[in-house]
């Protein structure tokens, strides 16, 4: 409730101040001051509304007994994956502020799900304390284009999806499945960042809290380790992040990014037994991503590989946690990967009237391959259904630059004896600045 109250106040101020500035009783000097303040305020956002018709079973036991659920009925799902309000303010003299307030899946961040590990019981899941999530909140000092210092809550630029996650920056109805499965997305932490751009190069380096290995699992690997079920984020371990982008070739961006940090000490309940004395749970990630956008063609791709040390000991520790702990108490792999590539061509570019109206219609195809249990250590069970390929094809129609209507057919290709997972999805999204 507190988050909703603060958001209501913020939106009220944004709505009232321009009207105040136009009041006939306001003298010229005060009106000029208000107009100056408003000129420094930036308001934007993005949002998605989607529907999927999934032509496979949604039973929570479908991977345990695939033959039993092979001919189950299809199921449909509506969703609001992400709705985000972005605010920025320029204080002057190089000082700026930015924030993003995110509503995920309707915004409450509290939901019921059928939990496989609890025998199919309904279980309430709270990803973070509070009803409104701040995806970003930072203050920045810019000394020059080559040197900017940012402190606060920020998105980690690891992989292509985190750095470019607006719905107008990928073709699928949902965010690319591979990266979104094995690493946090959108991955945001509180820390410090130094970044800049010189010529055709952009760099960024960050120090942030490490992940929490208690929340690692089999189907998402380290994905849930960035969230916190508490009113604070544990910071017993500090991680490093780095990214570099190159724009030397017109229309092409080439990027490398990485992450390294310990995770086992970032638990609220820390191990005291000598058995876990030397366990660090170091997470190492390396990623390459690119985007080519020229000649009415867009091609994007990324490849991410990750390694977790002591995954066998982390598995042992997590499985021994109390039933009321936030840990999923699952086997955790030592290595995971994701590879994805998509390409789309604007066929409206060949129709002069539509080209003049700046409407676009991309016909696209996408391929993903990923495995959250690519390699496991001795004593850790490997689940083959965690590895899969996915093929998708569809369209993206842009009636305006900031609005896109999407449709796609996709199929998840699983290893035998698991059943493939075909689906038809549609959605509408926007991304842009209102002021």
pLDDT for 253-287, tens place per residue? 999 999 999 999 988 888 778 899 999 999 999 99
For residue 386, give both structure tokens.
Answer: 């965690």
Taking the alpha carbons of 357, 47, 243, 376 in that order, is the dihedral positive or negative? negative
Helix boundaries (H) for 243-306: none
Q: Please report the pLDDT score of residue 430 as a whole number.
A: 97
Low-confidence winner among 260-274, 293-307, 331-345, 346-360 (lowest mean pLDDT):
260-274
Q: Please report the pLDDT score of residue 8 as a whole number.
A: 54
From the number of C-beta atoms within 10 Å of its C-beta (0-12, 13-18, 19+), residue 295 rates as exposed
Using the predicted structure, report yes or no on whether residue 130 has a pLDDT greater than 60.
no
Q: Please report the pLDDT score of residue 144 as a whole number.
A: 97
Q: Is 107 left (phi over 0), alpha (psi -120 to 50) or beta?
A: left
For residue 122, give both structure tokens.
Answer: 């309904």
- Nearest alpha-carbon partner for 208 in 164, 165, 266, 145: 266
Distance CA 140, CA 143 (A): 10
Backbone angles phi, psi at 24, to 5 degrees: -60, -25
The residues pairing with 136 across neighbouring beta strands, listed in sequence order, are 100
pLDDT digits (tens, 9 = 90+) for 60-77: 899 999 999 999 999 999
Q: Please report the pLDDT score of residue 322 as a whole number.
A: 86
Q: Which helix (H) or strand (E) holds 311?
A: helix 311-319
User: How many angstroms from the chain centroid is the CA of residue 309?
Assistant: 24
Backbone angles phi, psi at 398, to 5 degrees: -110, 95
Tell me what percent of the residues of the chain surpass a pLDDT of 70. 87
Q: Please report the pLDDT score of residue 229 as a whole number.
A: 79
Could you tell me the pTM of the whole model? 0.87
- CB neighbours of residue 36 within 10 Å: 11
For residue 376, give both structure tokens.
Answer: 């496991």
- CB neighbours of residue 245 within 10 Å: 20
pLDDT band at 324 (very low <50, low <70, confident <90, very high): confident
Mention every residue, 6+ apart, whose C-beta is less than 8 A from residue 6. 132
Using the predicted structure, report yes or no on whether residue 214 has a pLDDT greater than 50.
yes
- The second-level CATH assignment, the architecture, of 139-433 is Beta Barrel (2.40)
pLDDT digits (tens, 9 = 90+) for 190-201: 999 999 999 999
Q: Please report the pLDDT score of residue 110 as a whole number.
A: 54
Q: Which residue reads 């002069």 in tokens?
A: 352
Q: What is the mean pLDDT of residues 160-165?
A: 94
pLDDT digits (tens, 9 = 90+) for 9-55: 455 445 444 544 455 555 677 777 677 777 899 999 999 999 999 99
Q: Please report the pLDDT score of residue 272 as a whole number.
A: 79
Q: What is the mean pLDDT of residues 163-186?
A: 95
- CB neighbours of residue 3 within 10 Å: 16
For residue 308, give both structure tokens.
Answer: 């977790």
Distance CA 348, CA 360 (A): 5
Average pLDDT over all residues of the chain:
89
Distance CA 45, CA 47 (A): 7
């Amino acid at each position: 409730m507190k988050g909703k109250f603060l958001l209501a106040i913020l939106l009220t101020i944004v709505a009232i101040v321009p009207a105040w500035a136009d009041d006939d009783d306001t003298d010229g000097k005060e009106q000029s001051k208000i107009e100056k303040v408003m000129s420094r305020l930036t308001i934007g956002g993005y949002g998605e509304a989607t529907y999927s018709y999934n032509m496979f079973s949604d039973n929570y036991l479908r991977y345990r007994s695939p033959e039993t659920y092979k001919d189950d009925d299809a199921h449909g799902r509506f969703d609001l994956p992400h709705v985000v309000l972005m605010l920025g303010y320029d204080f002057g003299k190089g000082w700026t502020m930015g924030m993003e307030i995110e509503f995920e899946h309707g915004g409450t961040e509290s939901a019921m799900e059928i939990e496989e590990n609890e025998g199919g019981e309904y279980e309430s899941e709270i990803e973070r304390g509070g009803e409104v999530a701040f995806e970003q909140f930072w203050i920045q000092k810019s000394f020059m284009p080559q040197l900017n210092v940012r402190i606060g809550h920020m998105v980690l630029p690891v992989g292509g999806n985190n750095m470019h996650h607006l719905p107008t920056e990928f073709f699928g109805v949902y965010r690319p499945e591979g990266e979104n499965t094995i690493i946090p997305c959108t991955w945001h932490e509180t820390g410090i960042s130094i970044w800049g751009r010189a010529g055709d190069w952009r760099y960024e380096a960050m120090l942030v809290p490490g992940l929490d290995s208690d929340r690692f699992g089999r189907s998402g690997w380290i994905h849930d380790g960035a969230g916190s079920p508490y009113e604070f984020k544990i910071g017993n371990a500090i991680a490093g992040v780095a990214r570099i982008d190159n724009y030397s070739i017109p229309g092409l961006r080439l990027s490398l990014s990485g992450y390294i940090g310990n995770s086992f000490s970032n638990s609220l309940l820390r191990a005291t037994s000598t058995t876990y004395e030397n366990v660090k749970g170091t997470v190492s990630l390396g990623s390459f991503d690119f985007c080519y956008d020229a000649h009415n063609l867009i091609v994007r791709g990324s490849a991410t590989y990750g390694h977790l040390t002591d995954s066998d000991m982390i598995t042992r520790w997590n499985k021994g946690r109390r039933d009321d702990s936030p840990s999923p108490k699952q086997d955790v792999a030592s290595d995971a990967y994701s590879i994805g590539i998509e390409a789309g061509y604007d066929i409206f570019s060949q129709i002069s009237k539509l080209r003049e109206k700046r409407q676009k219609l991309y016909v696209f195809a996408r391929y993903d391959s990923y495995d959250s249990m690519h390699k496991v250590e001795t004593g850790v069970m490997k689940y083959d259904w965690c590895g899969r390929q996915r093929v998708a094809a569809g369209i993206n129609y842009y009636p305006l630059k900031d609005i896109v209507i999407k449709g796609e057919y996709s199929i998840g290709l699983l290893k035998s004896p698991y059943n493939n997972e075909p689906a038809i999805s549609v959605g509408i999204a926007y991304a842009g600045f209102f002021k």
